[in-house]
Chains A and B, each alone.
Chain A
Amino acid sequence: MDSDLAVFIQQTVNAISLGGTYALLALGLAIIFSIMGMINFAHGELMTITGYTLMYCGLAGLPFYISAPLAMMVAVVSAVLMERIAFRPVRGGSPASMLVTSFAVAIILQTLFQNLISPRSKAVPLPDVFAHSIHFGELSIGINQILSISLTVVILVTLNWFLRKTILGMAMRAAAEDFSVARLMGVKANAVISGAFAISGALAGAAGVLWVAQRASVDPHMGFVPVLKAFIAAILGGLGSLTGAVAGGFALGFIEIYLAAYLPDHIQPFKEALALGLVILVLLFRPNGLIPAATVGREKV
C-alpha cells in the first residue's frame, strides 16, 4: 500500500475514534439542553468519576470487562443524583442560574477529587491488549481505537433505536420539543428529566471509558477539556439537536486530527486556534449550526 494512503487511513481512523468520543459527549450535553434548556458544565466530571471508578476497580483487580460497565453505571447514578440534588431545585429558573449551578457542581466535584483522591494524575491499570495493534501492511490500527469506534457505533445505534422506537424515547423527543404539551400527554416531568440525565450519564460514562483507555490515567480536571470540545461540537452541530451533536462531534474530531496530521510543523502550535477558526467560519454561514434543532428558542421547563 502507498504510504501516504496508509497515513491518511490511519489518521481517518484516529479522527473517527476521537470524533466518536466528542459525539458521545456532545450528545449527552444536547439531550439535557434540548429538554431543560440547560448546559451542564458538570458533564465532564461524570467522565472523571468514570475514570476514578476504573482506577479503583483496576486496583481492586477487577477485569476491564466488568469495571468498564460498572464505571458507566456509576456515571449514570451520579448524573441522576446530580439532577436530583443540584438541578431540580433551580429547575424553571433562568438559564443563567442553571448554568452557574452546573459550574458550581463541576468545581465542587473537582475540589472533592483533589482533596479526597489526589490532586495529581493517577495511573489507571488497563489490560495489555489495549496497547496492541492490528497490522494491515503498513497500516496499524490500535485495539483501543477499534474498541472506541465499535462502542460508539453500538451506543449511537442503541440510542437512536430507543428514541425512535420506544414510547419513552418518543416521550423524550416530545418533551424536548414542547415540554408543556408533553405533560398534557401525561409525560411525567421528573421522570423524563431523570431519564435524560441517566442517558447523558451513560454517554459521559462511555466517553470516560474511551478517554481513559487512550491515556491510562485520570486526574481531577480530566473532564474539562473534552467537555469544552463537546460543547463546541454541540454548537457546531446545532445546540439542542441530537443529530447535530453527533455531526458536530465527528466534524470537530476530523478537523483536529487532520490539522494535527497535515499542518506544516511551524504552524502546528496554532492548530487549536485554526480548528476553532474553522468552527467560527462554519457558524458564520450557518449560525444555528450544521443541523439546527427543530425548535430553537421554544419554551423549556
Chain B
Amino acid sequence: MTTLLEVKGLYVHYGAVEAVRGIDLTINAGEIVAILGANGAGKSSTLNSIVGLVPPHKGEISFSGGNLFGLPTEIIVRHGITLTPEGRRVFGSLTTEENLLLGSFPLVDPGTYRDQNLQNMYDLFPILAERREQIAGTLSGGQQQMLAIARSLMSSPKLLLLDEPSLGLAPQIVDTIFEQIVDLRNSGITILLVEQNVAMSLQVADRGYIMASGTIVTEGSSDELSSSNIVEQAYLGHE
C-alpha cells in the first residue's frame, strides 16, 4: 500500500488556543479514512490546515512524498488534494455550472479536461445536469452538497478531504451522499472524511481516528472502532 498523505506532529493554533496538538495521520492510496470526534475536537482544523486554509503551526505534512507544510492553499490544491468544506460553501450567486467550472481551475491544462470532467460530474450527479443553469444559492441542501463535492472532483484530485458532508441533510439524502462516497473510492479517489455521524462513517470507512481535545485518542479499523466503546468515551470527553 502506498502512503498518499502523511501528517506528523501537527499543531494548529488560533491565537493562544491550541486546536490541534501534535497529531499523526497516515492515509494510504485507495482508502476511506474517517476522523471522528465531538464538536471542537480539532477535526475541521486538521483538514483546514492540511490544505493551508488555516496555517499549521508546526509539524510535517507530506503528500505523495512532497512537502505541503507552509504552502499557500492555491498551490496545495495543484498537488492533487482538495477539500469540500464544512457547510458546503458553494458560490451562491454563481450558477451550478459556473461553480463546477471553477472547480477545474487548478488543472494545469484545464481546457483539455474541463469538458470531460464536467460531463463526468453530470453523469455522476444527474440532478446537477438538470440544474446546470440554476443559481447555486437556490439549490436544496442536498443538491448543494452534491455540487460542493462535484466541484472538488472537477480538479481530478487524488485525495479528497470531506468535512461534515452529512451536516444538516435529511436522512435519505445522507444515505445517498454516503453511497456516492463509496462510489468515489471505487473510482480510485482516496477519501479523508470528517464526520459527526459515527455509525454511517464507520460503515463506509476502512479505518478511523478518534479525536478529542486536539489529540488523537485512538485509531483502528472500522470494525475495531465499531465494536469498542472508545468512540462513545471520546464523545463524552473521557479520555
Contact = CB atoms under 8 A, between A and B. Distances in A.
A188 interface: yes
A295 interface: yes
Contacts of B53: 180, 183-184
Contacts of B72: 183, 189
A183 B89 contact: no
A272 B22 CA distance: 62
A30 B101 CA distance: 24
Interface string A175-191: 00110111111111100
Contacts of B77: 183-186
A183 B85 CA distance: 12
B93 A183 contact: no
Contacts of B98: 170, 173
A182 B102 CA distance: 8
B85 A167 contact: no
A187 B74 contact: yes
A294 interface: yes
Do most interface residues of chain A lie in helix, strand or loop, or is the interface mixed?
helix
A24 to B, nearest CB: 22
Among B73, B83, B152, chain A packs the most CB atoms within 10 A around the CB of B73
Given A181-B85, A183-B73, A184-B73, A171 B93 contact: no
Contact of B93 (A173, A181, A185, A186): A173
Interface string A73-104: 00000000000000000000000000000000
A33 B151 CA distance: 26
B57 interface: no
A177 B92 contact: yes
Interface stretch (B103-111, B183-191, B207-215): B103-111
Interface in B140-159: 151-152, 155
A170 B101 contact: yes
Contacts, number: 68
Interface string B18-53: 000000000000000000000000000000000101
Nearest to A188: B74
A238 B221 CA distance: 53
Nearest to A180: B53
B102 A178 contact: no
A141 interface: no
A192 to B, nearest CB: 9
B80 to A, nearest CB: 11
B93 A187 contact: no
A170 B102 contact: yes
Contacts of A171: 102, 105
Contacts of B78: 186
Contacts of B94: 170, 173-174, 177
Contacts of B92: 177, 294-295
A177 B73 CA distance: 17
A189 B91 contact: no
B78 to A, nearest CB: 6
Nearest to B53: A180
A170 B85 CA distance: 20
Contacts of B59: none
B90 to A, nearest CB: 8
B70 interface: no
B83 A294 contact: no
A183 B101 contact: no
B143 to A, nearest CB: 17
Contact of B110 (A167, A182, A187, A189): A167
A167 B103 CA distance: 11
Contact of B89 (A170, A181, A187): A181
Interface string B60-80: 000000000000111001100
Contacts of B166: none
B82 interface: yes
A185 B89 contact: no
Nearest to B88: A181
A242 B93 CA distance: 12
Contacts of B110: 167
Contacts of A184: 51, 53, 73, 77, 82-83, 85, 152
29 contacts: A167-B105, A170-B98, A170-B101, A173-B93, A173-B98, A177-B91, A177-B93, A177-B94, A178-B89, A180-B53, A180-B85, A182-B91, A182-B102, A183-B53, A183-B74, A183-B77, A184-B51, A184-B77, A184-B82, A184-B83, A184-B85, A185-B102, A185-B103, A185-B106, A186-B105, A186-B155, A188-B74, A189-B72, A294-B137
Q: Which 9 pairs of residues, A with B, have the shortest CB-CB distance?
A: A186-B106, A294-B93, A183-B73, A186-B105, A185-B105, A185-B102, A186-B77, A174-B91, A188-B74
Given A170-B102, A183-B74, A186-B105, 11 more contacts: A170-B94, A171-B102, A173-B91, A174-B91, A183-B53, A183-B72, A184-B51, A184-B53, A184-B77, A185-B155, A294-B92
Interface of A: 167, 170-171, 173-174, 177-178, 180-189, 294-295
